[in-house]
Structure 1
Amino acid sequence: MKIINPAVNYWLLENQKGTITAVDPVGGGCIHQALFIRTESGESYFLKQNQAAPADMFLSEEEGLNALRVPGGPVVPKVFLAGKSYLLLEDLQPAGRCKDFWQIYGRQLAEIHLNHHPQFGFKEDNYIGFNPQKNTWMDNGIDFFRENRLRPQIDLAGNRSLLDTEDLKALENLLQKLPQIIPPQPASLIHGDLWSGNLITDHHGRPALIDPAVHYGWAEADLAMTDLFGRYPDEFFRAYEEVNPLESFYRSRFPLYNLYHLLNHLNLFGTGYLSRVRLTLKNLS
């Protein structure tokens, strides 16, 4: 049986769940050990653990999950226990997608995005993958995206020699052009890491969101990542806009927003993502 953090075992016993009777590893995670655990009470839980995680990583994830739990929004797993190296969550027992899944999800995600804030940012910094994500409050969305999203990733990649002089020059030119490309938009509560793996289902097949990088940012930027590794169907976007209409030509701005995620992947996984970064820069120049 996998080694379980003692704090998790203690919580289970203190809450009359009994000892752990089964542990099943979950595939797909590249950062943390992910496990389904079952206890003597017959209840099951989802556990993430990582002894090498930054001290606040799982606590930040707890904050993000709690923030996403809004009326009319998608299912978000309950957090039972969070610590430096572990996060114990509700086991949603994912089932096949329900009828009208994409339409339901489109409207539910729009409900999250309708939660606005007068500033861009979040009450604390958090993480995008294993990299820190800066959430210092700013009044202007352009400044926030430039200084708290793109520039930290550019600096990190430059310091690691993952970008050459021409790349850095092209990126700096792009940073100066942001006000001409991106229209004014409110600061919306967003998931922040909406690749397909972070959209699952609960036991009824309803849409559920996990692994957030929550902050108040542009709704368009949240939607953009749905186009980065695959693509959501048109019925999702139609349903979304029934609740939260988007600015004209919003899809044309997706590559710019996704540059943040491509740079993050470059920093996380190496030069395999460099060609996509350069292609994006070429198309935006």
Structure 2
Amino acid sequence: MISSHQLLDADLDTALRTLTGADGDSAAALDSVSEVGGGSISRTLVVRRGQRRWFVKLNDARLAAMFAAEADGLAALAACPAVRVPRVWGHGISGRQAWLVLEHLALAPLRGHAAGAAAGQALAAVHRITGSHFGWPRDNFIGSSPQLNAAQPTWPLFFARQRLLPQLELAKRNRQHARLIASGERLADALPALFVDHRPRPSLLHGDLWSGNAALDDGDRLALFDPAVYWGDRETDLAMSELFGGFPDSFHAAYREAWPLASGCAQRKLLYQLYHVLNHLNLFGGGYLQQAERMISRLLAEIGG
């Protein structure tokens, strides 16, 4: 068993003792601190004290805003009783480290027909929570990339100005192919043509719904975590859930039964997936360049741009 001082500096050890202390007892040592895998952006630990456990994420103190945004997103999703969301115990900075302490959940992969169907219905319940505008009160992050959420008067303007154009600007700074930038900017200008007959409600979105951010809790309820929430078209969550796979067919079928999708959803899915492919290009490099170029070319051809 690894002792806390092998993984935590003194400031962080003190902060976690205070946060997890029972009945105000912050002096007793943590029973164990174990590093766990699965985090590509942050270090992740499981902390135990007595019979209780917490899930802890650590990163550089300069990224404290990322954990604050994650806590905000989890609180928003927790408003839906159909899903399980880890409780936020606290977040802050200790020394050179930013930290986020969450309830530790016993999770299982989202597999099986019945579990997938229940999860699809639960996601529809999340999306039925609606706002008054597209956006979110604060900016947050998609992976480690900034995600801008300032309100816009229409959904096409929001997606162009707050999703596509910022990713293209990042690609420009990363010196990605000039053809990608030029065609992407043309697509952003032409977006209203994709939404002539589609005026979505501003639904509460997870924002980064790939299979690694969803699971089953110990009561077989859909558990959601690592969000990038905002008010937007519910189809964006569904598009992301299909981009890398991992969700059972029953998940998609049950969602569509609970809340059918409007015509043109296949074309919009390509657009919504493009945002995440561009983000992966900016985060991980040129392996996604040709995929992004193909997606933009197809969308431009479909709208005559």
Could you tell me the TM-score, scaled by structure 2's length?
0.87
Aligned to 1:51: 60
CA contact (8 A) 2:82 2:221 kept: no
Given that residues 111 and 248 in structure 2 are in contact (C-alpha distance below 8 angstroms), is that contact kept between their aligned partners in structure 1? no
CA change 1:216–1:69 in 2 (3 A) is: same
Match of 1:122 in 2: 136
CA distance in 2, matches of 1:271, 1:194: 23
Q: Residues 176 and 96 (structure 1 numbering): CA distance in 2 closer, same or farther, change over 3 Å?
A: closer
Report the Cα distance in structure 2 between the residues aligned to 1:74 and 1:26, rounded to whole angstroms: 24
Displacement, 1:276? 1.4
* Number of the residue aligned with 2:91: 82
**What SS does the corresponding residue of 1:120 show, helix, strand or coil?**
coil
Q: Deviations over 1:32-87 (max 9, x none)?
A: 00111111x22111000112442321111111000001334311000011114111
Q: Which amino acid aligns with 1:178?
A: L
Instruction: Note closer, same or farther for the CA distance 1:203–1:58 as it changes in structure 2 (3 Å cut).
Output: same
Tell me the equivalent position of 2:17.
9
1:20 aligns with 2:30: yes
Where does residue 137 of structure 1 map in the other structure? Answer: 151
Counterpart position of 2:122: 108
For 1:228-260, what per-residue CA distance to the aligned partner results, in whole angstroms no more than 9, with x for missing partners? Answer: 111533321222133322212413321111111
CA contact (8 A) 1:154 1:263 kept: yes
Please give the secondary structure, in 2, of the residue aligned with 1:19.
coil
Distance 2:247 2:153 in 1: 31
Instruction: Give 1 or 2 for the bigger CA radius of gyration.
Output: 2
For residue 303 of structure 2, what is the aligned residue in structure 1? none
CA contact (8 A) 1:135 1:148 kept: yes
Identity, in percent, stands at 39
- Which whole-Å CA distance do the structure 2 matches of 1:60 and 1:49 have between them? 14
Give the unaligned 5+ runs of structure 2: 1-5, 301-305
Residue in 2 aligned with 1:180? Answer: 193
The equivalent of 2:227 in structure 1 is 212
Q: TM-score, normalised by structure 1?
A: 0.93
